[in-house]
Amino acid sequence: MSRGRDTFRRVKPALSAVVWLLKRLPRSVRYGVLALFRGTPGPVGLGVRYACVRSLARSCGDNIYVGAYAFVSYLERCDIGNNVSIREFCNVGCLGGLYIGDDVSLASGVVVLTTEHDYYQLSVSMRDAPLVAKSTIIEDGAWVGAGACITPGVTVGQGAVVGAGAVVTRSVPAYSIVAGVPARVIGWREGSPTQPQESQEIGLGGR
């Protein structure tokens, strides 16, 4: 990680110039550039994707890794901290509002949702049901394992670890380790300031 931060510091002036230029373009054009370079490998792809994300996000820190084929939408409703990794093939929807803190890692194929259909209504089909926006929060230092799904309206607490393939449907306590479908607490990180407790199921519902 330190090598990545050192590299970012060296190229930050050039990236800042690209961000400045992008902000002069219409938002739709910036999204188009992001789509055009979505699969571009290597430093060029990483640099352009970072510049696009920074120019589009409501707020965005330094040293953001956006992997190839990661899809991030409605960035104008997203706040991203520093030293964040969004790995390859992630799908991050920000329409309902998304906050990603510092030093967060989203491993390959993670899905983050901030909206869902109002499935309680029987008078309309599911595809026509209105969307319900629920702000989602991933706090500082959290790590979300490959293929996990973070559902709308939950908070992944500071320093928490979400196991690969987990489906998180309720908020995750700080410094806990969760896994499974639905996700449940299976342990606590060593030295956690959070009082350990017996594993609890994180079932359906919001926060």
Q: What is the CATH number of the domain that holds 95?
A: 2.160.10.10
Q: What is the pLDDT of residue 178?
A: 97
Residue 195 lies inside a defined structural domain of this protein: no
Kindly give the parts of the chain with pLDDT less than 70.
1-3, 194-207
Q: What is the phi/psi pair of residue 162, to 5°? A: -105, 120
Determine the Cα angle at 203 with ends 201 and 205, to 5°: 140
User: For residue 206, is it within any domain?
Assistant: no
Q: What is the DSSP letter of 97?
A: -
Alpha carbon distance 112, 93 (integer Å): 6
At 195 the pLDDT is 57
Residue 176 included in any domain: yes
Give me the sign of the Cα torsion angle 5, 9, 13, 14. negative
Q: What is the pLDDT at residue 193?
A: 74
- Quick one: pLDDT at residue 121? 77
Task: Give the number of other CB atoms < 10 A from CB of residue 57.
Answer: 21
| Number of domains making up the chain | 1
What are 87-114's pLDDT values in tens digits? Answer: 999 999 999 999 999 999 999 999 999 9
DSSP characters over 103-170 = T-EE-TT-EE--EEE-TT-SSS-GGGSPEEE--EEE-TT-EE-TT-EE-TT-EE-TT-EE-TT-EE-S
- In contact, 91 and 71? CB cutoff 8 Å: yes
Residues designated as active site:
117
In a domain, 196, yes or no: no
Q: What's the pLDDT score for residue 45?
A: 95
Task: Kindly state the tokens that stand for 68.
Answer: 């190839």
Q: Is 194 within a domain?
A: no
Distance CA 162, CA 181 (A): 11
Q: Does residue 207 fall inside a structural domain?
A: no
**14, part of any domain:** yes
Q: Give the structural domain span for 179.
A: 2-188
The radius of gyration computed from the CA coordinates of the chain, to the nearest angstrom, equals 18
Stated as kind and residue range, the H or E segment containing 199 is: none
Any domain includes 6: yes
pTM: 0.88
Determine the length of the chain.
207
